[in-house]
Amino acid sequence: MNPLTPVNPATVSSPRTDDHAAGGEPFLQVRDLSVRFATEDGPVQAVDGLSFSLERGRTLGIVGESGSGKSVTSLAVLGLHDRARTSVDGSIRLEGAELVGADEARLRGLRGSRMAMVFQDALTALSPYYSVGDQIAETYRRHTRCSRRAAGERAVQMLSLVGIPSPQRRAKDYPHQFSGGMRQRVMIAMALCCDPDLLIADEPTTALDVTVQAQILELLAEVQQEFRTSIVLITHDLGVIAGIADDVLVMYAGRSVEHGSVAEVLTAPRHPYTMGLLASVPRLSSAVDVPLKPVPGSPPSLLAVPGGCAFHPRCQARDLLPDDLCSSRRPALVAEDARDGRDGGDGHAAACHLGTAERVAFARRTVEPSESNDTRRIQGTNR
């Protein structure tokens, strides 16, 4: 959120309550979320029928490539999308309260206090004209009506919580005086200053080095353990997901293609896209001197999403299914147990037409070393 939003005294948030919504509804429930916006080149469906839920103290990882709609989802949850050009349908319920269509004043009361956001690029997300202490204090005063002095103390306290050395002095510094990792800590301090229940972190470590990334992920895990914060972590890095998330949602072309617990999705993926992603990433333990197994093609433009299953032009399992099935019918995101008519199950769902037997056969094929087309030789010189 923008910490410099003018303060509107009419919309000061209600005091915090810790009671849960009645009826056992999940803490955050997103149902059938669709986000469309008009662009110069035509309408774009950035998010298409997305559903997920998140409990208190849990972390959901949303993985996807550029243009998969993962950032748009986070902006829609916070109501930060451009209202003039964007239409949001479906339902987003935070502790039973509907956020889609809620008025701006109400959202403003919730943003920063109940739900907060950590952006990827802290240098653009922070204002260069205010010291970091003032920026954090402003957020706090906006929601608590406390004195300047108390808010200033809160800012210092938050900076020390996120591990910034000599916070008293550093609170007077400006964003450009911090290193990338420290700036990201400042953003986390600002997001946490009103004890939000929901923290949305959009690629919080993408711009950071691996050693600093490890520090920030550890900080998020500590914060969550201490405050039972629910975290939605958006990233393109499956390694980050493996380290911090409980559940994972894989997005492709604005749709969710696979959903389940981290252990399930990363060890036994059910969608060919997830399998392809996992197989294409080199690891510190993988075999060298063999070609990597890329996912062929590139992600589709949202202006022209392929019909049927959006992944079908790149899918290597398509030959296992009848010719026009994948290009004509869009597969629903269903748990396999439900499809087979079995009860219970782990909630591991994939949006794919492949049946169990075909999927297992395909998974075996992706894991085995293949004759890749990279073995063809290169010829031709200037001479």
**Which helix (H) or strand (E) is 201 found in, with range?**
strand 198-202
Residue 79 or 276: which CB sits closer to other proteins?
A: 276
Q: How many CB atoms lie within 10 A of CB 87?
A: 12
Neighbouring residues of 85: CB distance < 8 A, sequence distance ≥ 6: 37, 38
Q: Does 291 bind other proteins (CB under 8 A)?
A: yes
Backbone φ/ψ region at 269: left (φ over 0), alpha (ψ -120 to 50), beta: beta
Interface region with other proteins, contact rule CB under 8 A, candidates 139-147, 269-277, 316-324, 336-344: 269-277
Tokens of residue 113, six digits: 């206090």
Q: Which amino acid is at 31?
A: R
| Of the residues 121, 153, 173, 246, which one makes contact with other proteins according to CB under 8 A | 246
Shortest gap between Cβ of 178 and other proteins (angstroms)? 9
Q: Does 280 bind other proteins (CB under 8 A)?
A: yes
Site string for other proteins, 118-157 (x = CB under 8 A): ----------------------------------------
| Of the residues 25, 32, 218, 340, which one makes contact with other proteins according to CB under 8 A | 218
Q: Which residue has the tokens 């290009």?
A: 327
- The per-residue b/e assignment along 235-270, b for 16 or more CB within 10 angstroms, e otherwise, is bbebebbebbbebbbbbbbbbbbbbbebebbbeebb
Question: For the chain, give me the number of helices (H) and strands (E)?
Answer: 14, 12
| Of the residues 12, 102, 146, 221, which one makes contact with other proteins according to CB under 8 A | 221
Shortest gap between Cβ of 252 and other proteins (angstroms)? 10
Shortest gap between Cβ of 33 and other proteins (angstroms)? 23
Closest to 185 measured CA to CA, from 144, 139, 218: 218
Closest to 259 measured CA to CA, from 325, 310, 334, 203: 334
Rounded to the nearest 10 degrees, the angle between the axes of helix 210-227 and helix 180-192 is 10
Residue 32 or 222: which CB sits closer to other proteins?
A: 222
Q: How many CB atoms lie within 10 A of CB 351?
A: 23
203, 120 contact by CB (below 8 A): yes
244, 221 contact by CB (below 8 A): yes
Residue 88 or 217: which CB sits closer to other proteins?
A: 217
| Of the residues 283, 323, 343, 344, which one makes contact with other proteins according to CB under 8 A | 283
Residue 81 or 293: which CB sits closer to other proteins?
A: 293
Q: Does 212 bind other proteins (CB under 8 A)?
A: yes
Residue 137 or 244: which CB sits closer to other proteins?
A: 244
| Of the residues 80, 100, 266, 325, which one makes contact with other proteins according to CB under 8 A | 266
| Of the residues 161, 182, 250, 350, which one makes contact with other proteins according to CB under 8 A | 182
Residue 3 or 175: which CB sits closer to other proteins?
A: 175
Q: Are strands 86-94 and 97-98 parallel, antiparallel or unpaired?
A: antiparallel
Beta bridge partners, 259, equal 249, 349
Q: Does 293 bind other proteins (CB under 8 A)?
A: yes
Q: Does 181 bind other proteins (CB under 8 A)?
A: yes
Binders of other proteins among residues 41 to 100 (CB under 8 A) are 65-66
Site string for other proteins, 364-383 (x = CB under 8 A): --------x-x--xx-xxxx
Binders of other proteins among residues 303 to 342 (CB under 8 A) are none
Task: Name the phi and psi angles at 309, rounded to 5.
Answer: -75, 125
Q: How far is 200 from 116, CA to CA, in rounded Å?
A: 6
Residue ranges binding other proteins (CB under 8 A)? 65-66, 179-182, 209-215, 217-218, 221, 225, 236-244, 246, 262-263, 266-267, 273, 276-278, 280-286, 288, 291-296, 298-299, 372, 374, 377-378, 380-383
